[in-house]
Structure 1
Amino acid sequence: MRDIASILPLSVDRVSFTGEGRKLVDVVSFAVPAGGLTVLLGPNGAGKSLTLRLCHGLLKPSAGEIAWANGAAGRVKRHAMVFQKPIMLRRSVEANIAHALAAAGISGIERRQRCGAALDRFGLGERAAQPARLLSGGEQQRLAIARAWALRPELLFLDEPTSQLDPAATRQIEELLSGLVAEGITVMMSTHDLGQAKRLANRVLFLHRGRLVEDRPAADFFAGPLAPEARAFLAGELIW
């Protein structure tokens, strides 16, 4: 599963991102060590999704630096991302996984083995030949996670992965994520769901207006946040 040198920790150093004439991410710094599940928490518009995209390399910072351990960014990509609305190709369930592996340079027997393992691991074996776009919302999100898992990432980014799912599908995805962490995959996800953050997070990064206002172990954060914006958010107040 792992090369000799880990890509973690991920270091985010004074990163900003400017768009629409203003700073949408404003001088944010943190590090992501190996292990556990980190939640980016905050109201809509706080900069959670942008921060994930910056970390994954889909966007370039306007200022600051994002660096992987051992200079890994230019050599190897062992991080993957799952989006709020899964992106499904007009192909079968199995072909969606195979396409991602082919794009990553995985071919032949290994690609077939990884496809089979992902289908089994995420309970999609009976759906393998079905068109991916005809799956339910929960099944599509499971497929998106299976597709990312097949790439064998050290770090998995997820952008509000259950915001469009019903409670049963949400519970299933949460159980899968807990299982991935138990397997040794580091997870970083965004959510504005306090209950979900309490259930899953080892660590909370609380964002407000593009700024990181609190970075604490989850148990400490929920026991008593230090930042007034975080206290107001936990109290159910609207913050802008």
Structure 2
Amino acid sequence: MTAMYRVVKADILDKITQGVWAPGSQMPNEMRLAETYDCARATVNRAMRELAEEGIIERRRKSGTRVRMNPVRQARFGIPLVRKEIEDQQAVYGYTLINSTIEPAPDWLRGRLGLAVGGLVRHVCCMHTADDMPFQLEDRWISLDALPDAETVDFSQSGPNEWLVTAVPFSNAEMSLLAVQADAKLATLLHCAKGDALFQTERSTWMDGQAITYVRLIFRGGHKMTTQY
């Protein structure tokens, strides 16, 4: 049986293709669409989220949803479970929590994610290993305004990557890729020499306009990332 959100998504896409909702036009809100399709609002939300991710529609928190004037072709980066990524390489996965604190969001993070002054974040730093060798250093901030449950999650045995990927949906993300040099701290954590070139990704995720998390992932040189178009 086809999942209901796929039925809704296909019908919305058909209406856009047939010109019922022309490029640039305002679309009905989720509540009205849920009534139209006689389904839960969450079902409509998932269908709309996928259409937004595919560049067909544009969702804005205060102004609603519109059909894009021109569909957007985007590079698509999945957010993988790092455990699975390592095990798929036939390596033994390992995890170590380095530190975890609850603290006010620093100014640079508030500016980047649009967080409120005085808002709290959970800051978690942890290491993922492959065959006992450093694979990925995860340095993550989670907004407790968006995800209050994150304050009490036990990250001593498994990291925030695993919890977020399996339990928390997101509607859009922004990613940066860059090369960095290992300072003394990174050299110690990643078992490399100070000054070595490292591969770093920075990713921010949101759910319907509300910031969820920002993370820096740092890998030793030679790491490979694949994307789809």
Q: Is the TM-score greater than 0.5?
A: no
> Higher relative contact order by CA 8 Å / sep ≥ 6: 1 or 2?
1
More helix by percentage: 1
Rg comparison, structure with higher value? 2
Instruction: Using structure 2 for the length normalisation, give the TM-score.
Output: 0.24
More strand by percentage: 2
Instruction: Using structure 1 for the length normalisation, give the TM-score.
Output: 0.23
